[in-house]
Amino acid sequence: MYYVTALGELLIDFTSIENPEQGNTYFEQNPGGAPANLAACISKLGGKTAFIGKVGKDMFGSFLSEVLIKHGVDTAGLKFSEEHNTTLAFVKCDKRGERTFTFYRNPGADTCLTPAEIDFKLIDSSRIFHFGSLSMTDEPARSATLKALEYAKSKNLIISYDPNLRMALWKSSDQALREITSVLSMVDILKVSEEELEFITGMGDNEKGSNLLFDKYGISLILVTRGDKGCYYRFGDITGSKPAFRNIKVIDTTGAGDAFLGGFLYYIVSKGVLKMEDIDKELLENSIVFANAVAALCTTKRGGIPAMPNINEVKNLINGDI
Share above pLDDT 90 across residues of the chain, in percent, rounded to a whole number: 83
Strand 24-32 versus strand 11-19 pairing type: antiparallel
pLDDT at 114 (0 to 100): 98
**From 99-103, 126-130, 210-214, 315-319, the region with the lowest mean pLDDT:** 99-103
Q: Is the peptide bond before 107 cis (omega within 30 degrees of 0)?
A: yes
CA 211 from centroid of its chain's CA atoms: 23
pLDDT at 106 (0 to 100): 86
Strand 189-193 versus strand 2-7 pairing type: unpaired
Q: What is the mean pLDDT of residues 141-149?
A: 98
Chain segment 48-77, per-residue pLDDT in tens: 999 999 999 999 999 999 999 999 999 999
SS3 194: helix
Q: Does 321 have pLDDT greater than 80? A: no
pLDDT at 98 (0 to 100): 65
The DSSP H or E segment spanning 261 is helix 256-270
SS3 34: helix
Q: Pick from 231, 230, 259, 264: which is nearest to 246 by CA? A: 230
Chain segment 161-216, per-residue pLDDT in tens: 999 899 989 999 999 999 999 999 999 999 999 999 999 999 999 999 999 999 99
pLDDT band at 96 (very low <50, low <70, confident <90, very high): low
pLDDT at 247 (0 to 100): 84
* Rounded CA separation 92/26 (Å): 10
pLDDT band at 99 (very low <50, low <70, confident <90, very high): low
Q: How many CB atoms lie within 10 A of CB 76?
A: 10
CB 113 within 8 A of CB 142: no
Chain segment 21-53, per-residue pLDDT in tens: 777 888 889 899 999 999 999 999 999 999 999
Q: How many CB atoms lie within 10 A of CB 93?
A: 19
* Rounded CA separation 102/17 (Å): 15
Q: In whole angstroms, how large is the CA radius of gyration of the chain?
A: 18
Helices (H), 105-193: 120-124, 141-154, 173-181
Q: What is the mean pLDDT of residues 99-120?
A: 92
pLDDT band at 5 (very low <50, low <70, confident <90, very high): very high
* Rounded CA separation 19/179 (Å): 40
Share above pLDDT 70 across residues of the chain, in percent, rounded to a whole number: 97
Q: Is the peptide bond before 309 cis (omega within 30 degrees of 0)?
A: no
Q: Does 97 have pLDDT greater than 60? A: no
Domains of the chain: 2-10+33-86+106-319 (3.40.1190.20)
Residue 226 contacts by C-beta under 8 Å, 6 or more apart in sequence? 193, 194, 206, 232, 241, 244
Q: Pick from 148, 168, 190: which is nearest to 103 by CA? A: 168
Q: Does 283 have pLDDT greater than 70? A: yes
pLDDT band at 288 (very low <50, low <70, confident <90, very high): very high
pLDDT at 91 (0 to 100): 78
pLDDT at 100 (0 to 100): 78
